[in-house]
Structure 1
């Protein structure tokens, strides 16, 4: 039976075996734990690695199962790739690169209606950008792939399967940069955008809507593609 080993990776503690750590002979882990030269221990006697402790769980899982199983909507593949490069784990790198190469091409459009929220002093006291909702249009399967559980499908009942297209999805949050980050992480790039200019309205705003804020309503769309 392989000897049990306690690890402290960036403050996160793990229990595994030397057999698991030595799985990939060309890796830095094999180099470190086969000789134990250059290793240090913390105050509890655990071997200490000054790396990302949270992401190390996926590295351990891969060494145990020879499969890279990431949760749906996982958003740190670039950081995980850097960790795999540091540990010289070619198996994980092959999985990440292979996944990217197998991604089908497609197009997703992001739209939002927004305004600028003002304080009592009007234009001199702009507080922040205000978005009411971020809309998502595209092929259903790709929208789910990119946005995972942040995607709200309640307005678009599932008819026709994942190969259908929709213009009725929206996100559960209102952070446009978060949506852009998720698209970028899945290999999409911005291809074009358009937006309305600001426009005043002579109509009386709805109850509870600030008249000055209402003057600055605008709508923008961004088209992302993956080749």
Structure 2
């Protein structure tokens, strides 16, 4: 290894400054960066430089950090809720990083998909009926989707005890409609999906009137009138 290969390189990528080495920039020999920064290639001497002598690259500076990370470790790691994969693929295409693009497509295939949240609920009332609404009552929040996605999003809050095929780590590519959450806070479930980069794609709801049959013990007639079921479909792509 030559000394020049360990040379420290200062970059200005779209206004964002990076410090790396020639070895990192040329680690993928088939990339555009390797073509530009190869010590045997004189084209780097014709690079435009900024006022402080940094090599200037007129590309998206924020996503370039993922390109450097990949060139250093040959691995892609995205922060939770990362939504810039399409832009990053475009940048990787510009720099001719074919292996990086394949890795991102593999990650997308396993991390993209949809999760459906369903819940049955009602409202607790006092003696004065509508004038004395107390609280929203949820009996259970149901989770449906691919096992691996559900586990990634909800972690320890996911209750798998009702799933007869649950193996805690086996075939995570299968789908289930038998998961539910250990809590009854629908907003907490929404927050967790939002943090993981999911967006709401659709929802529906239905209500029921008071049944004609006699109510079960402990079921309030007024509350029964306000029982409802809702489903929300979240998508990550």
Shorter-chain TM-score range: 0.5 to 0.7
* Cα distance, 1:106–1:167 mapped onto 2, change above 3 Å: farther
State which drifts further: 22-31 or 32-41: 32-41
- Output the CA distance in 1 between the equivalents of 2:158 and 2:149: 17
Label 1:86 to 1:99 Cα distance change in 2 as closer, same or farther (>3 A): same
Q: Deviations over 1:186-225 (max 9, x none)?
A: xxxx6x853237x9xxx7xxxxxxxxxxx9xx86424469
Residue 32 of structure 1, CA deviation: 2.5
- Is contact 1:136–1:143 with CA below 8 Å preserved after alignment? no
Residue equivalent to 2:198: 182
Q: Equivalent residue for 1:93?
A: 101
Q: Tell me, which stretches of 5 or more residues in structure 2 are unaligned? A: 121-137, 210-221
Larger Rg: 2
Residues 33/99 of structure 1: CA separation in 2 closer, same or farther (3 Å cut)? same
Deviation at 1:47, TM superposition (A): 1.0
Paired residue for 2:24, among 16, 20, 27?
Answer: 20
Q: What is the alpha-carbon distance in structure 1 between the residues aligned to residue 19 and residue 112 of structure 2?
A: 41
Picking from 88, 91, 109, the partner of 2:116 is: 109
CA contact 2:12–2:18 (8 Å) conserved in 1? yes
What SS does the corresponding residue of 1:196 show, helix, strand or coil?
strand
Give the CA RMSD over aligned residues.
4.6
Match of 2:49 among 34, 38, 41: 41
Q: Secondary structure at the match of 1:40?
A: coil
Q: Is the 8 A contact 1:32 1:38 kept in 2?
A: no
Measure the CA separation in 2 of the matches of 1:108 and 1:183. Answer: 10
What per-residue deviation string (whole Å, max 9, x for no partner) do you get for residues 47-102 of structure 1? Answer: 1122222221221121122222333443322222111111110110111123345x
> Which moved further from structure 2: 172-181 or 44-53?
172-181
Is 2:160–2:179's contact at 8 Å kept on the other side of the alignment? no
Note the alpha carbon deviations across 1:106-157, whole angstroms, 9 max, x for none: 86213489xxxxxxxxxxxxxxxxxxx9x66135532243x3xxx4855859
Paired positions, count: 186
CA deviation string 1:1-45 (max 9, x = no partner):
321110111222111111211122221212332321662111111
Contact residue 198 and residue 234 of structure 2 kept, 8 A: no
CA distance in 2, matches of 1:5, 1:104: 34
User: How far did 1:182 drift?
Assistant: 2.1
Q: Aligned to 1:143, which of 136, 140, 150?
A: 150
Secondary structure, counterpart of 2:9 in structure 1: strand
Matched, 1:166 2:179: yes
TM-score by structure 1 length?
0.59
